[in-house]
Structure 1
Amino acid sequence: MTEKIFLTTTDALFPQIGRSVSIGNKKIAIFQLSDGRITAIEDFCPLTGGPVLEGTVSGEYLYEPLRDYKISLLDGRIQDPDEGQLKVYELLLEDGDIYLKDASL
C-alpha cells in the first residue's frame, strides 16, 4: 500500500495562486489551475536556485519569478529555449483533502 501524506485542503487553494507546503526539508508548491486541476511541483528552480511559488500562472505553465523561465506545471519541464526539470509530485484527492500520493520525496 502506498503511503500518503496530507498536504492541505482544496478550500485552502485559490485558482492560479501557489500555496507552499513543507515536508521535512522539502518545499512543495501546490497550484490550482484555472480549469480546476491541482498540481504540485518542487518549490525550487534549478536555474536560479530560488523558489518558484510566487511565479505567475498562465494556463498550465508557471513563469518563474526571478528570470521568467516558463515551467510546465504538468511535467516540470522548463520550456525552450531554456532547459531544466523540476520534480512533479503525484497527488491524491479525497473528500476535499489533498495528499501527496507517494511519501518518497
Structure 2
Amino acid sequence: MGNIETVKKVEVAKLSDLSVGIGQRVNVAGEEIALFKQKDGSVKAIENSCPHKKGPLSEGIVSGDHVFCPLHDWKINVNDGKVQAPDVGCVKKYKVEIKDETIYIHLSL
C-alpha cells in the first residue's frame, strides 16, 4: 500500500482582510504563508520565503501574477511558485478555497 496523504483545511483570513496588490502574511501549523488577492477576487498562497535569501514575499511588490522579493527583486509567479528567469528556483504553493468570504488553505499532513 502507498502512502495516503492527509489534507487539513485551515481557516486563515477573511476575504475583506486582503487588498489587491498587497501581500498578507499568515502562520499556519508552523508554516509562514503569503496570501495575495488577485483582481478577479481569487486568492493565491505561496511560501513566504524567497528561495534566494529568504526575503519575506508578503512584503514584496505585487504586479499581476507575480511578486517581487523585497530583498533582491527576484520575480516569483504566485500561481505556481516558480521563480522567473534569469533566476531559478521555486517556493511551495498552497491550494486555496474561499467559502462564504472565508479563506482556507489546504495543508498536507
**Deviation of the 1:57 alpha carbon:** 0.5
TM-score (norm 2): 0.88
d(CA) in 2 for partners of 1:16 and 1:96? 18
Read off the aligned partner of 2:11 and give its amino acid letter: F
Whether the 8 Å CA contact 2:10–2:105 is kept in 1: the answer is yes
- The normalised TM-score by structure 1 is 0.92
Aligned residue pair count: 104
- Give the AA of the match of 1:3: K
> Any idea what SS the aligned residue of 1:11 has?
helix
Higher strand content, 1 or 2: 2
* Runs of 4+ deviating beyond 3 Å: none
Structure 2 unaligned blocks of 5 or more: 1-5
Counterpart of 1:74 in structure 2 is 79
What 5-or-longer segments of structure 1 have no aligned partner? none
| Displacement after TM superposition at 1:48 (Å) | 1.1
Tell me the C-alpha RMSD between the 2 structures. Answer: 1.5
Correspondence for 1:30 among 35, 39, 43: 35
**Greater Rg over alpha carbons, structure:** 2
1:87 Cα deviation after fit? 0.6
Aligned pair partner of 2:45 in 29, 40, 47:
40
SS at match of 2:16: helix
Residues in 2 aligned to 1:11 and 1:47: alpha-carbon distance in whole angstroms:
31
Identity percentage of aligned residues: 38
Cα offsets for 1:14-68 (capped at 9, x unmatched): 1111111101321000011233221000001111122111100011011111000
Residue from 43, 55, 69 that aligns with 1:50: 55
Tell me the distance in 2 between the aligned counterparts of 1:104 and 1:75: 17
Secondary structure in structure 1 of the residue aligned to 2:45? strand
